[in-house]
Amino acid sequence: MQIGPGISGHRVAVTGVGAVSCAGAGSSRLWEMLCEEKSRGSFNVPNFSTDHLGGAKDLRRLDPFALYALAASDEAWRQSGLEGPLEDAAVIMATGIGGLQSLLAQVDVLKTKGASRVSPFMIPMMMPNAGAAAISMRFGLGGPCETIATACAAGTHAIGYAARLIASGRSPVAVCGGSEAVMTDIALAGFANMTALSTSGLSRPFDRDRDGFVMGEGAGTLVLEQWDHAVRRGAPILAEIVGASSTADAHHITAPDPEARGAIRSMRLALQDAGIGADEIDHVNCHGTSTPLNDQAESEALRSIFGSRLVPVTSNKGHLGHSLAAAGALEAIATVMSLLQQLVPPTAGTTHIDPQVALDVVITAPRKVDLRYAMSNSFGFGGHNGTLIIKSVNQ
């Protein structure tokens, strides 16, 4: 993703955000929940109205991950004030697994009713690109329509890639983000048996007693736009994407590099991309999964970047759980909201910060901070690393 010094070309404005999370449908509900001291206890997406998204028949042919992506994108699109069709507008969405729920349902049909009863819609429902396709068709977006599947870094990678398309002039507008809906028995068993999940059922990022992550689900979408394009039509500009990077650990299929070399390079490249120094970063939205290895490696990387300077950090996974490819997108939205509100939300579930972490983890209550530049990190199985640098438009 690194192309020369900085995201050169058109400036990249954020003109819309949309979210579906355990807080419900809507970015305002997401932000309200993130500012609470404690988790609400459930990381499942509650039922929400889909009447405005299309006919019931068409919506039934979408796996939940695609439906969440469409709902989040609809909110972001309406906030941006854009109107389609737009022939060159891009859709770059991410998912780690895709339509797992639809696949499992049809496997059950196959076993109980036979092959002739398997739905002809199974393939388009389970395919990972179904979310991006649904978005492009709803708004008439005819530019690049692509899906990124780099595990838990995918949402961040999708936003970074979309920013490149905007900056290069390939697309004046891009809808981007990530979606996931795999809270199924088989997925939970797989993660549990690889000892990634918390045995206590608690998400406690950077806590001395952390013992694994808790699964979540949802979707986050941003509308990115060429700055001048947004200004000409009088669109509200929420923030600016000024840096993005992608690196690989080249170390292990699941464990992070204990020396965090890939994560360190990701952050350094993103800073170089933005044309700023680490001393200008005012806040970091961490990956912070609540696993012992991940949190320790990320803290090592942050200390390498910031030295003895303590930047206020948070992890949204205490509130949201870990929604895999949706995580980076939801966290990018949280970062945009932090810049707008000049607040760093607390890390839910964390009560005793691990002294080995040695970070300024915001806990208990939101902290008022003067924010100009913020960093958002995501790291995924396979050694995928992604970093975004987002700038306030009011500072």
Q: Where are the alpha helices (DSSP H) in 183-324?
A: 185-193, 227-232, 261-274, 292-306, 317-320
3-class SS of residue 85: coil
Average pLDDT over residues 35-42: 95
Q: How many whole angstroms separate alpha carbon 33 and alpha carbon 22?
A: 9
Q: What is the pLDDT of residue 9?
A: 86
Contact (Cβ atoms closer than 8 angstroms) between residue 82 and residue 157: no
CA distances from 206 to 151, 202, 213, 362 (A): 21, 12, 11, 11
Could you please state the CATH topology (level 3) that the domain comprising 12-395 is classified under: Peroxisomal Thiolase; Chain A, domain 1 (3.40.47)
Residue-level pLDDT at 7: 64
Average pLDDT rounded to a whole number, residues 382-394: 96
The token pair that represents 364 in the structure block: 């208990």
Residue 339 identity = L
- Which residue numbers are catalytic? 152, 287, 322
CA distance 330 to 175: 14
Residue-wise pLDDT for 219-274, tens only, equals 999 999 999 999 999 999 999 999 999 999 999 998 999 899 999 999 999 999 99
CA distances from 248 to 131, 155, 344, 383 (A): 26, 16, 28, 5
Query: Are 145 and 175 a contacting pair, CB within 8 Å?
Result: no
pLDDT surpasses 60 at 342: yes
Q: Binning pLDDT at 50, 70 and 90, where does residue 4 land? A: very low
Q: Which of 72, 395, 21, 24 is nearest to 237 (CA)?
A: 395
- Domains of the chain by residue range: 12-395
DSSP 353: B
Neighbours of 365 (CB within 10 A): 12
Rounded distance between C-alpha atoms, residue 49 and residue 76, angstroms? 16
Q: Measure the CA–CA gap between 260 and 262, rounded to whole angstroms.
A: 6
pLDDT of 76 higher than 60: yes
Please state whether beta strands 218-226 and 12-21 pair in parallel, antiparallel, or not at all (unpaired).
antiparallel
Dig out the tokens for 29 from the structure. 């509900």
Cα distance between residue 20 and residue 30, in whole Å: 8
For residues 322 and 309, what is the distance between their CA atoms, to the nearest angstrom? 28
Q: What is the CA radius of gyration of the chain?
A: 20
CA–CA dist 336, 176 (Å, integer): 14
Which tens digits make up the pLDDT trace of 143-188? Answer: 999 999 999 999 999 999 999 999 999 999 999 999 999 999 999 9
Contact (Cβ atoms closer than 8 angstroms) between residue 156 and residue 388: yes
Residue 394 has pLDDT above 90, yes or no: no
CA–CA separation, 216 vs 212, rounded Å?
A: 13
Residue 372 has pLDDT above 80, yes or no: yes
Dihedral sign, Cα of residue 128, residue 314, residue 336, residue 321: positive
The three-class DSSP label of residue 341 is helix
Q: What pLDDT is recorded for position 285? A: 98
Residue 377 CA to residue 385 CA, distance in Å, equals 8
Peptide bond into 85 cis (omega under 30): yes
Convert the pLDDT of each residue in 178-229 to its tens digit: 999 999 999 999 999 999 999 999 999 999 999 999 999 999 999 999 999 9
Q: List pLDDT tens digits, range 293-309.
A: 999 999 999 999 999 99
Cα angle value 81/63/123 (rounded, 5°): 115
